[in-house]
Amino acid sequence: MEAAPRSIPKHVVLVHGACHGGWCWYKVAARLRSSSSPAAAAGAYRVATPDLAASGVDGRRLREVPTFREYTGPLLGVLRSLPDGEKAVLVGHSLGGLSVALAAEEFPEKVAAVVFLCAFMPDCTSPPSHVLQQYADGNWVAQLDNEVKPQDADDKLPASFMFGPRFTEQNVYQLCSKEDIILGKSLIRVGSVFLEDLQIQQPLSKIRYGSVPKVYIVCKEDRTLPEGFQRWMVSNSPVDEMKEIDDADHMAMLSTPDKVAACIMDIAEKYS
């Protein structure tokens, strides 16, 4: 009797945004790991939620992470460790969109699809900083009590960034539970968007990053990256597929975890 063919697991890597950590994916990660879908029932989902450098429980201080590549290093390490022939679906949230894009540039052969969940999405014609600059120049959102500060006197390090309490409650977590707002405010750390470093990088290539399937998930109640800006990024760099979540704020993985998990499972089944 012939043995049944071995099921190759579907790897899903969930990547957080600025000031956050892998902890913010706890609801979606739990749903993916316990899903009743045929793929999950066969043990086919493996979920990773890495803390990027100087984020979450990573022990480094921000001053020890001078470049965006070093910041993204833990994600690159996850892909580097994948067995030959296996691929991962990368899901980037907010600034995490630039991290998953860099990972796809470095390891296109190990990426089944790149998913941007209300995330910054670079194109292949401008430096990765372009979408950050367009966001800032467009005055899409009043920054309220957010803080941007120099880390050193001679500007050799990227400026630090921290969400303010008012901005967090009104524009980032406004549809989340009180418990998740308290959780977020207690766990966020001072981070950076690494604008200075990203401005001097070359555009991502069409033959590497550009060759990987891309899906954008628009969160229609996002007050941090408003729907209009999300749609501008899709028009600036067309994707293979676009999905929408009507009642999701910026922290969609906390405010609408069932819908985010369903989108990710659908993408994993289609592109893996």
> Residues with catalytic annotation?
94, 222, 250
Using CA atoms, how far residue 83 sits from 8, 11, 80, 99, 109, in Å, is 11, 11, 8, 21, 11
Q: Can you tell me the distance from the alpha carbon of 238 to that of 216, in angstroms, rounded to the nearest whole number?
A: 9
Q: Could you tell me the two tokens for 123?
A: 């194109």
Q: CA-to-CA distance for 94 and 240, rounded, in angstroms? A: 19
> Using CA atoms, how far apart are residues 238 and 7, in angstroms rounded to an integer?
32
Closest CA to 11 of 91, 72, 76: 91
User: Strands 241-245 and 111-117: what pairing?
Assistant: unpaired
| Tokens 């999405």 -> residue | 121
